[in-house]
Amino acid sequence: MGWSSWNAFGTDVTEARVLDSANTIVASGLAAKGYLYINIDDGWWLKRRQSDGRMQVRTAIFPSAATGGPDESSFRPFTDQIHRMGLKAGIYSDLGRNSCSQAYGGPGTPNLPEGTLAEREVGLYGHAEKDLKLYFEDWGFDFIKVDGCGVRAFAPDSAKVKDGQYQALVPLIDFQSVNRTDVTEIKALYTEVADHLKHYNPDGDYVFSICAWGSADVRSWAKNVGNLSRTSDDITPSWGRMLTNFDSAATRALYAHPGSWNDPDMLFVGHGDFDENHLTEAKSHFALWAMISAPLIIGYDLRKAPPELMEIFGNSDLIALNQDPSGHQAVLAYETDDVQIFVKSRGDDPARKAVAIFNRGTAPQDVILTADHLKYMAADDVHLVDLWTKAALPAFKGEVKLRVEPRQTLIFDAHGTRTLKGGIYLSEIPGRVNPAVDGVVTPQADPFIHRAVSPWAGSRGRGDLPMYAGWGGAQADATPFGRSLQIGGKPFASGIGILANSRLEVRLKDERRITASVGVDDSTLDTATPVTFYVYGDGKLLAQSSALGFGSAPETLSADVAGYKLLELVARSTAPGNAERTVVTWGNAALSN
């Protein structure tokens, strides 16, 4: 949680603006509620000094950095000031030689790096160790966002390279085609950053934000490399774009866990469709980010924030939900293009959850919320408390009908009797389940992501297509392609859907048993290849199924797991490479005591 200069000021960032925002965060009580990171985004740099490669701060906008002496400039006075306020400081760089504002900023863009072509190469490419040592060990930053425009936008035939402004770097990322993206190299470059961060921060007290916009197959590896990973291109203050960004992260619950989160981009609460005249939209944006455990990074000039917006940022119940230490991102319980229902487990009490009912459209909806959506007993009372008004609704049994206004998100604290007594479904604890290998061989864009009119191109061209290559990744309570789980004609409301040739890791606490009904899912594209299912505890085989083909009834796997720390659920097919995309289901997969 924190604040970033980008959505508030773009590259027109100044020390005064950042410090004023930091002061407001402290004075308003938002810091005490958890908004700790004060992040400077693009625009801070002046140039790279050629004598020794040391980065220089643009002291005209960050006057405290004008330290003089052999260093010429230093951010240390700034970070000291931020730390004295009890806050943490974030900085911004790029994986390539140049930044996003250099790539996309027009002629009037303020604060672009200055000097010769080499002086204007402010990114990490070829300088990663020196820069990260400077930013973390010398300057004392606590957070870095590493963007990727430098490895994407400076092709030899691009206008700014051809006219001599920038050196060419053959693009490693092609937004439109993961096949033309050098996934191995992108992963290696981000991993190099992570290694330097570990080295220069041996206490591990830093945040590494990967900004590759969902490209380069980040779904499969960023959770092991960084703490945040962007799942889409930039958010803008428009409803449609917010939907695009939200959708890119919303079905990826299994890919978030404590220490590494899906990042649908920073908040735009306060601007455009989410300003003080659009509080329904602003509250939806904030509630949805809270539900999917997204970073809550304010992108607004807090000096002018009216009380209604400060109340949204400061809603302690939504903050607690977002920051719940167990880190279970909400799971989709119901989905159409009009209405979605998300359920988020809380760590402290398995009977306590949060539920959000989101009306995406422009007509009011009467939405039926069922005990089943919450995995609660239909015969027992379900209690809901509205997290905005704090009002308790009358308890209901079975189902309740709720009116949801256009673009509104109802969000409740929920309590009921869990359907699974003495155990917990793996899909209820996605923060403890890691798709270490998800079986995806050919990453594909997720076709269900909302397609908004491009904020940049307008309606020129054919229209933006989904780009986030998350399709086919493991899902909670759904197949990798978003269908209901079903094996041999038997449906499963709970379970994990994944491709074959996959390995799920489950961190055990004190549970004693795992059970699951396994088999090839009825929705599989490949109906020919049998799959065998295995359960390992700390590397030791504990249970194994027979080879199960499409149409076979589900087989029950059960194993005593007492005393083990790490469970691995492996589904192995005889088809190497998984090119046929065999869909498998761990139906009702659950841990029990």
Which sequence positions are flagged as catalytic? 147, 234
29 alpha-carbon distance from chain centroid: 26
For residues 497 and 485, is the Cβ–Cβ distance under 8 A? yes
Nearest approach, Cβ of 241 to ligand GLA (angstroms)? 13
Segment holding 423, helix H or strand E: strand 423-425
| Closer Cβ to ligand GLA, 234 or 281, answer by number | 234
C-alpha closest to that of 234 among 103, 133, 353, 114: 103
Nearest approach, Cβ of 396 to ligand GLA (angstroms)? 42
| Closer Cβ to ligand GLA, 40 or 557, answer by number | 40
| Closer Cβ to ligand GLA, 42 or 301, answer by number | 42
Nearest approach, Cβ of 100 to ligand GLA (angstroms)? 3
* Amino acid symbol at 534: Y
| Closer Cβ to ligand GLA, 15 or 234, answer by number | 234
Bridge partners (DSSP) of residue 39 are 4, 90
Taking the C-alpha atoms of residue 449 and residue 189, their distance in angstroms, rounded to an integer, is 28
Q: Which residue is nearest to ligand GLA (CB)?
A: 100
Nearest approach, Cβ of 455 to ligand GLA (angstroms)? 11
Bridge partners (DSSP) of residue 4 are 39
- The region that residue 538 occupies, defined by phi over 0 for left and psi between -120 and 50 for alpha, beta otherwise, is left
Taking the C-alpha atoms of residue 461 and residue 465, their distance in angstroms, rounded to an integer, is 11
Nearest approach, Cβ of 443 to ligand GLA (angstroms)? 20
| Closer Cβ to ligand GLA, 96 or 472, answer by number | 96
| Closer Cβ to ligand GLA, 285 or 581, answer by number | 285
Residue 590's φ and ψ, nearest 5 degrees, are: -150, 150
> Which of 102-122 are b and which e, b meaning 16 or more Cβ less than 10 Å from the residue's Cβ?
bbebeeeeebbbeeeeeebbb
| Closer Cβ to ligand GLA, 122 or 498, answer by number | 122
DSSP 120: T
299 alpha-carbon distance from chain centroid: 17
Give the end-to-end CA distance of the chain in Å, rounded to a whole number: 35
Nearest approach, Cβ of 22 to ligand GLA (angstroms)? 19
- Both tokens of 285, joined, read 């944006």
| Closer Cβ to ligand GLA, 146 or 500, answer by number | 146
Taking the C-alpha atoms of residue 380 and residue 394, their distance in angstroms, rounded to an integer, is 13
C-alpha closest to that of 104 among 58, 43, 48, 189: 43
Taking the C-alpha atoms of residue 112 and residue 42, their distance in angstroms, rounded to an integer, is 9
Do you know the residue count of the chain?
Answer: 593
Residue 4 CB contacts under 8 Å (≥ 6 apart), including other chains: 37, 39, 40, 41, 90, 266, 297, 298, 299
Neighbours of 44 (CB within 10 A): 26
- SS3 readout for 65-100: HCCECCCECCCHHHHHHHHHCCCEEEEEEECCCCCH
Nearest approach, Cβ of 410 to ligand GLA (angstroms)? 30
| Closer Cβ to ligand GLA, 123 or 431, answer by number | 123
For residues 517 and 492, is the Cβ–Cβ distance under 8 A? yes
Let me know how many helices (H) and strands (E) the chain has, helices first. 12, 30
The contact set with ligand GLA (CB under 6 A) reads 6, 41-42, 99-101, 147, 211, 234
Nearest approach, Cβ of 92 to ligand GLA (angstroms)? 6
Segment holding 569, helix H or strand E: strand 566-573
| Closer Cβ to ligand GLA, 333 or 469, answer by number | 469
C-alpha closest to that of 496 among 522, 510, 512, 517: 517
- Is 253 in a helix, a strand, or coil? helix
Nearest approach, Cβ of 125 to ligand GLA (angstroms)? 16
Nearest approach, Cβ of 94 to ligand GLA (angstroms)? 8
